[in-house]
A and B are shown apart, each in its own frame.
Chain A
Amino acid sequence: MNQREKEEYLREFALLKQQGKPFFPYSVAKDGAMAVIVMLSIILMALVLGAELGPKADPTTTTYSPRPEWYYFFLFELLKIIKPANLVPLATIGVPTICMILLFLLPFYDRNPERRPERRPVATAAGIFTIIAMGYLTYLGASAGSPTQIDMETPPQIVAQGGPMLEQFETGKQVVAQSGCEACHKFGENGNDGPGPPLTDIASRLPKQAIARTLINPTAPMPSFKALQANEPEKFDAMVTFLSQLK
């Protein structure tokens, strides 16, 4: 912005100001109405949602799945997405620091005197992109389930069969969830996408015997479930049954 543009803006602004109304009571009335709305929504949330207090902090736990407050979900998801170990400092410190510096210095690199959003396409697009990206990451972070739980619904034909089949399916689901398969495989909405293939519909690609064979003799880095088959064959069978029903 050069001297002429600065003066032009100041002149225009002085005119606009002259033609405006005093802060009190015109703006204050609007601000007050907004403040009432804000306080009403806070009070409503406090009344409806209350102040939940979780179980007491337990540093010895090995079963708790920590999740942040919703406004840190985007950061949480970012940490999940950036997998390579040597890029971890980039996700934790690098990206947030760069974003903050860009935000701080915005008026110093965006020196375009134009103010209307539709005439600053780059800035407007960047702003909208940031909002969408943060919204999407927040959504992903919010819907990320615990890796020791599978939220897939039991298919109706299994429920119809009932009896031992249904029982084995449910047991298998639990064994799979607690065996950490989701660290590498995706099951519906749960689990990580990779390095292993998604198992949401594994049965349509592999017959039951092949699934059992893979569990005992997997390709590295997948661990073998041979020990489970030897020690607790009923759990292993339940696991195979569950996986062979995923179509």
Chain B
Amino acid sequence: MPKLKLPAPPLPDRLNPRPKRPGSTKTKPLAEAGISAIDWVDERTSLSQGARWMMFRKIPKGTNWFYTLGSATLFAFLSQTVTGVFLAMYYRPDAAGGAYESVRYITNEVFLGEFVRGMHKWGSSVMVILIFLHMARTFFFGAYKYPRELNWVIGVALLVLTMAMSFTGYLLPFDQRSYWATIVGVNINGTGPFVGPYLSDFLRAGPEFGATTLARFYAIHMLLIPGILAALIGAHLYLVAKLGTTAPPWIKADDPVQKEEKA
């Protein structure tokens, strides 16, 4: 690629950077410090190898905007994580009135409270949409086929966990919709033969919606599922980097053998 050369601005000579003297290797001290800090870390971790492998791997030709849906989902997840952590600073999982009161406090009193809660709430919708679009792209492009079968399975697990996230997050504001949707959701789990009754008892921490139900949903929503989700996202990304993203199925490589014959 030709180097881009910007026209020099018409400045007085004094303001222009002086040309380097031959033999001088002096660099800027700040940049030097930065480089040596990175070198120090790299000498002890060899991280730059991994970063190089990850960042400068080739992406097959023909990839288009549909291929950004996966990273967009990841971004929505990051946004959910950060806004969620900050919401947790104000939230109280107390069904006796504290939960609703704390969410009301976040919404009405805290600086930017309604905005951050809105981001978390709508971020969940956006993440669900993106994960479905990403899955549709993978499906229609046949990208789940050899050698990426395992990555599809991990992806479906991520979809299930995302839906479980939105289900458990639902209860936390403790308004009417939260409460009844959770009752219905728990009872749906309860209709599984044999294990159903015990499963719904486990989710509710007892036969009725009680004092520890909300804390249980809160712990599942902000510790258990996000932990598994983060681990699986790591595995998903490792496999994407290792196997490479697919090209759109209609793209064909220029065959080097045919090219030689033509030439």
A/B: CB atoms within 8 Å of each other: yes
Residues of A within 8 A of B (CB): 1, 6, 9-10, 12-13, 15-24, 26-28, 30-31, 33-35, 37-39, 41-43, 45-47, 49-51, 53-59, 61, 64, 66-72, 88-89, 92-93, 100, 103-104, 106-108, 110, 113-117, 120, 123-124, 127, 131
Find out whether the CB atom of A41 lies under 8 angstroms from the CB atom of B126: yes
Find out whether the CB atom of A46 lies under 8 angstroms from the CB atom of B75: no
| A/B interface sample: 25 pairs, CB < 8 A | A16-B62, A16-B251, A19-B254, A21-B59, A23-B57, A23-B58, A34-B75, A38-B72, A42-B122, A45-B125, A46-B114, A47-B115, A49-B122, A56-B97, A56-B100, A58-B179, A66-B180, A88-B191, A92-B191, A100-B156, A106-B139, A108-B149, A110-B145, A123-B142, A131-B136
Is B160 engaged at the interface, CB distance under 8 Å to the other chain?
Answer: yes
Find out whether the CB atom of A49 lies under 8 angstroms from the CB atom of B118: yes
Is B67 engaged at the interface, CB distance under 8 Å to the other chain?
Answer: yes
Residue of A nearest to B126 (CB): A42
Q: How far is the CB of B165 from chain A (nearest CB, A)?
A: 12
The proximity string for B residues 51-76 relative to A, scoring 1 for CB distances below 8 Å and 0 otherwise, is 00011111111110101110110011
The proximity string for B residues 73-105 relative to A, scoring 1 for CB distances below 8 Å and 0 otherwise, is 001100100000000000000000100100110
Residue of A nearest to B182 (CB): A57
Cβ-Cβ contact count across A and B, 8 Å cutoff:
225
Q: How far is the CB of B84 from chain A (nearest CB, A)?
A: 13
Find out whether the CB atom of B136 lies under 8 angstroms from the CB atom of A66: no
Residue of A nearest to B115 (CB): A46
**Interface residue from A39, A45, A88 paired with B79 (Cβ < 8 Å):** A39
Per the bound structure, the CA–CA distance linking A10 and B117 in Å amounts to 46
Q: Which residues of B contact A30 (CB under 8 A)?
A: 65, 67-68
Find out whether the CB atom of A51 lies under 8 angstroms from the CB atom of B117: yes
Residue of B nearest to A30 (CB): B68
Q: Which residues of A contact B37 (CB under 8 A)?
A: none
**Interface residue from B121, B136, B254 paired with A127 (Cβ < 8 Å):** B136
Is B227 engaged at the interface, CB distance under 8 Å to the other chain?
Answer: no
